[in-house]
Amino acid sequence: MNYALVGAFVVLLATVLMAATLWLAAGNAFRQPADLYLAIAEESVAGLNVSAPVKYNGVDVGKVQSIQLDPVDPARVRLIFALERGTPIRQDTIAVLKIQGLTGIAYVELTGGARDSPPLRGTPEEPLPVIPTKPSLSARLENVLTSVLAKLDRTSSNIDAILSDENRAAVTSALTDLAALARTLAARRDTIDAGIASAARTFENGARVTEQLGPVIERIGPVIERIGPMIERIGRSADALEKFGQEAAQASTGAGQTVAQVGAEVQRMGAETLPDLQRLLAELQALASSLRHLSEQTERNPASLLFGRSPAPAGPGESSTTKAAP
């Protein structure tokens, strides 16, 4: 028996079995036609490996074929999915990175895809259809925790500022003042009770007065209704008076102008006729004086109206002949 030949056959058979096992494990035996899709993640994809499963609402529909950094923006990761042909990837389909159980193995979950949404297609700029992504639960938790920690840090700083030595002294002083106020209120409790009782009586009296004023207000209502038209008529009268006042003011202005014109005419006439009038008055005065002398002479000697005035008697040393010569 050739043991070398038997050993070579066993080794060859083992090699063939191992190759078949690896081939079956890779899924090449049942490989189906697949469509390629692109997803751009803007977060860390730690735990996600090539050949990680891609699920659509929990159903395996493909695998992750490639994981690469975006050459334009290294903060983004380009994920290429190989999905079974016929998978309903639509424009509202969302890719989310999830963790499977407690093992920490990451996979991609596809959600969305409404019935009336059109299928997702590529563009000239990006031949592969791009599936939009949404932050994973871990990323959202990380953002929330970061925000909470920042707020806690600010709160701690504010608490430290509040609990400073000056604020503690102020709080201690305020508590001391409150204790003193409480003691003062306790000492004057009777006075406070009396004041409260007096206030209660005042409120009761006010309520009674309000009740008594009710009928008065009801009686005043019709009077106010009757006064309303009177107030309207007074308003109209006031408007009429205002209009009359305006017209009177205009008339007064016109009268003032007329008076000014008349005054100017009177001054001009006075300047022209006053000298003649003064001369006439002087002549009238002289005439009146002559008439007065004539009247006095007539009273003394009425015959003088017929015979004229008698010559005056001759004075001492004068003769009648000498007097009559002139």
Per residue in 104-144, pLDDT tens? 688 999 988 788 889 888 888 888 999 999 888 877 888 88
In angstroms, rounded to a whole number, what is the distance separating the alpha carbons of residues 276 and 269? 11
Task: Say which residue, 323 or 253, is predicted with more confidence.
Answer: 253
Closest CA to 99 of 84, 86, 109, 90: 109
Torsion-angle region of 38 (φ positive above 0: left; ψ -120 to 50: alpha; else: beta)? beta
Contact 91, 119 (CB under 8 A): yes
- Separation CA 147–CA 140 (nearest Å): 11
Beta strands 34-41 and 53-56, pairing class: unpaired
**Among 144, 51, 53, CA closest to 101:** 53
Q: Which residue has the tokens 């529909």?
A: 61
The span from the CA of 40 to the CA of 108, in Å, is 12
Q: What is the pLDDT of residue 323?
A: 43
pLDDT on residue 81: 92
CA 299 to chain centre: 110
Residue range 244-280, pLDDT digits in tens = 667 766 766 765 666 567 566 656 666 666 676 677 7
Answer whether residue 297 shows pLDDT above 80.
no
Q: What is the rounded CA–CA span in Å between residue 308 and residue 303? A: 7
